[in-house]
């Protein structure tokens, strides 16, 4: 599903003494089946932006289009059910949203809510569980008896069971150790490829932007200040720093290597890019 924001503005508590700007004149396009990262300092408007993707928030002015769904300030909640099914949201610490007695019932809640019969919902629940690496022997256990990582996978499976075509990830690896974060991102990448999903990721992890994103949107003070490929976004290290962001790990390491005489044709953003550019510059063993 392609996504378009057309001059979207959003105000919290409009026409009150507490009115504040959440989004200011946001326009961009997300191609179908692409991976888009949204980055920016805390409070820049990232989460406000993605909550417009399934109607949790509606534009004060402007239009959000998700495939053939159109969202404006005139859209009523009764027209949002189909959009909710097609756009799955995974928030920070999604395991906090678990509530049912068994893993199976928790994952099946979404399909049941969208009108699938019990057998179909349970089948979708098991398929979603398998897709995130949960085994059948966990399905009849309480989700609250599982490890933190397993609970998070149950919550993500609950989103996937409704078969969304857009997967919105709002800091989905928050609180995970580096190995857990890497496994989780690999899972999302695999799901994107297998299900032909459009993925939108809000993250503070610049390595994930470099490794997975086709494009990145940079937010600052409720405005979209830059759009481009990861290479374009990180090309100006001083600008990145001004946005209170960091460079990916490989890029920071390459900057240190420049002070030691190494040369790079463009800033490497990933480990693979760094290794490729270092090939031939390192002395061969035994020389």
Q: Which residues are annotated as catalytic?
A: 171
Who contacts 109 (Cβ-Cβ below 8 Å, separation ≥6)? 100, 158
d(CA 273, CA 287): 25
Beta-carbon contacts of residue 108 (< 8 Å; ≥ 6 apart)? 121, 122, 124, 125, 161
Q: Sign of the CA dihedral 193, 198, 202, 207? A: positive
DSSP 23-63: EEEEEEEE-TT-EEEEEESTTSSHHHHHTTTTTSS--SEEE
Which pair of tokens denotes residue 102? Answer: 């068994």
In three state form, how does the secondary structure of 84-130 look? HHHEEEECCCHHHHCCCCCHHHHHHHHHHHCCCCHHHHHHHHHHHHH
C-alpha–C-alpha distance, residues 168 and 250, integer Å: 26
């Amino acid at each position: 599903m392609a996504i378009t924001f057309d001059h979207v503005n959003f105000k919290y508590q409009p026409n009150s003494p507490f009115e504040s700007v959440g989004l200011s004149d946001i326009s961009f396009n997300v191609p179908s089946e692409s991976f888009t990262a949204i980055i920016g300092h805390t409070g820049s408007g990232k989460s406000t932006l993605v909550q417009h993707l399934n109607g949790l928030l509606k534009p004060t002015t402007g239009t959000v289009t998700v495939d053939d769904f159109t969202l404006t300030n005139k859209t009523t909640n009764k027209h949002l059910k189909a959009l909710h099914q097609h756009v799955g949201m995974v928030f920070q610490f999604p395991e906090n949203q678990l509530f049912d007695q068994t893993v199976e019932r928790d994952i099946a809640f979404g399909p049941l809510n969208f009108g699938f019969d019990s057998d179909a919902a349970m089948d979708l629940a098991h398929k979603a569980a398998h897709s995130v690496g949960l085994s059948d022997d966990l399905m009849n256990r309480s989700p609250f008896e599982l490890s933190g990582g397993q609970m998070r996978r149950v919550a993500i499976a609950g989103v996937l069971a409704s078969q969304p075509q857009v997967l919105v990830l709002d800091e989905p690896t928050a609180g995970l150790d580096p190995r857990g974060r890497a496994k989780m991102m690999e899972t999302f990448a695999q799901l994107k490829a297998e299900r032909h999903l459009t993925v939108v990721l809000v993250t503070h992890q610049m390595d994930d932007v470099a490794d997975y994103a086709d494009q990145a949107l940079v937010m600052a003070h409720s405005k979209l200040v830059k759009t481009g490929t990861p290479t374009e976004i990180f090309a100006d290290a001083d600008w990145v720093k001004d946005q209170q962001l960091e460079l990916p790990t490989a890029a920071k390491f390459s900057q240190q290597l420049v002070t030691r005489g190494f040369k790079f044709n463009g800033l490497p953003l990933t480990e693979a890019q760094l290794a490729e550019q270092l090939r031939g510059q390192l002395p061969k063993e035994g020389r």
